[in-house]
């Protein structure tokens, strides 16, 4: 695995790379402490399928610079700018949590740049349960109003994994380092931007109702024990759209790629390695 830095629209962006073959962008979620490091344990397994894996710290996360625009819309546009900086005309996209929305949005609006899409634990791409209303307001943007202590970082991480033994001292230290300082300030900016958007007009048609419009092959993967009634809503999604390529993985919470690394590598790697 190689660690690199590249300038994208005036920002220094860190990314990890492993393997060779068709390019795959791995996009982490928006929770405090998220970074390209959530994928490090998955890179060898995915690379074994003949893929070039590229996992970046999105602007405002990890070791990448903070942007002046904290919105999801900016981070969506950023993916294309990052691809341009790397000289990639087209790539597979793997989006975890909030980044699943980013990947699907790009496939809808810029299909010529997206080969295949894998969505991982993105609650807003599942239909709401009747009578329970919307349950994905935060979409994995976990974090508090004050910079977390190491113990608080552990508690946030424990809420996202089924197997807590995966939270090694090294993994915890990395997550905590990525949760403080400039990254915590960026998290607060994202929260303020999100709060300000509550008064804006809601989207006319939610993305979960537009999945049939995605022309790129799409695979959806969820942890059976994930929050937000993920298992029930996944079952409802398949009932409403029997053609969905949707997989529910047992003994997994939100970080499916941690809880079921081998199954994720198989589900994702085999799918992305298929001929389009």
Q: Provide the Cα torsion 36, 96, 261, 220; round to 10°.
A: -150
Specify the long-range contacts of residues 208-214, CB closer than 8 Å, at least 24 apart.
208/124, 208/125, 208/126, 208/127, 208/237, 209/127, 210/104, 210/108, 211/104, 211/125, 211/241, 211/244, 212/241, 212/243, 213/108, 214/104, 214/107, 214/108, 214/111, 214/117
- Output 99 or 144, whichever has higher pLDDT: 99
Residue 137's pLDDT is: 47
Kindly indicate the confidence band of residue 197, based on its pLDDT and cuts at 50, 70 and 90: low
Instruction: Name the band, by pLDDT with cuts 50, 70 and 90, for residue 225.
Output: very high
Q: Give the residue numbers spanning the domain of 166.
A: 2-128+136-198+206-273
Model confidence over 115-168: pLDDT tens digits? 999 999 999 999 999 987 665 545 667 888 999 999 999 999 999 999 999 999
Number of structural domains (the chain) is 1
pTM for the whole thing? 0.95
pLDDT value, residue 135? 54
pLDDT > 80? residue 180 = yes
Residue 167, domain CATH: 3.40.50.1820
Residue 199: what pLDDT?
Answer: 47
């Amino acid at each position: 695995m190689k660690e690199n830095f590249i300038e994208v629209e005036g920002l220094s962006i860190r990314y990890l790379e492993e393997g060779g073959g068709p390019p795959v962008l791995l996009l982490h979620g928006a929770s405090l402490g998220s970074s390209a490091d959530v994928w490090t344990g998955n890179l060898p397994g995915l690379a074994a399928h003949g893929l070039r894996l590229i996992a970046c710290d999105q602007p405002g996360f990890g070791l990448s610079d903070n942007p002046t625009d904290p919105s999801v819309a900016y981070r969506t546009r950023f993916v294309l700018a990052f691809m341009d900086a790397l000289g990639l005309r087209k790539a597979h996209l793997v989006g975890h949590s909030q980044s699943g929305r980013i990947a699907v949005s790009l496939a809808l609006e810029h299909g010529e740049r997206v080969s295949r899409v894998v969505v991982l634990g993105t609650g807003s791409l599942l239909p709401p349960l009747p009578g329970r209303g919307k349950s994905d307001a935060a979409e994995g943007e976990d974090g508090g109003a004050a910079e977390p202590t190491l113990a608080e970082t552990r508690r946030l991480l424990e809420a996202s994994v089924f197997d807590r033994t995966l939270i090694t001292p090294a993994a915890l230290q990395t997550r905590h380092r990525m949760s403080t300082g400039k990254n915590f300030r960026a998290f607060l900016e994202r929260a303020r931007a999100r709060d300000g958007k509550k008064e804006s007009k809601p989207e006319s048609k939610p993305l979960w109702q537009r999945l049939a419009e995605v022309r790129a092959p799409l695979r959806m993967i969820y942890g059976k024990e994930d929050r937000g009634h993920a298992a029930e809503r996944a079952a409802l999604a398949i009932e409403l759209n029997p053609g969905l390529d949707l997989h529910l993985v047992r003994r997994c919470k939100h970080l499916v790629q941690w809880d079921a690394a081998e199954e994720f590598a198989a589900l994702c790697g085999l799918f992305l390695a298929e001929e389009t």
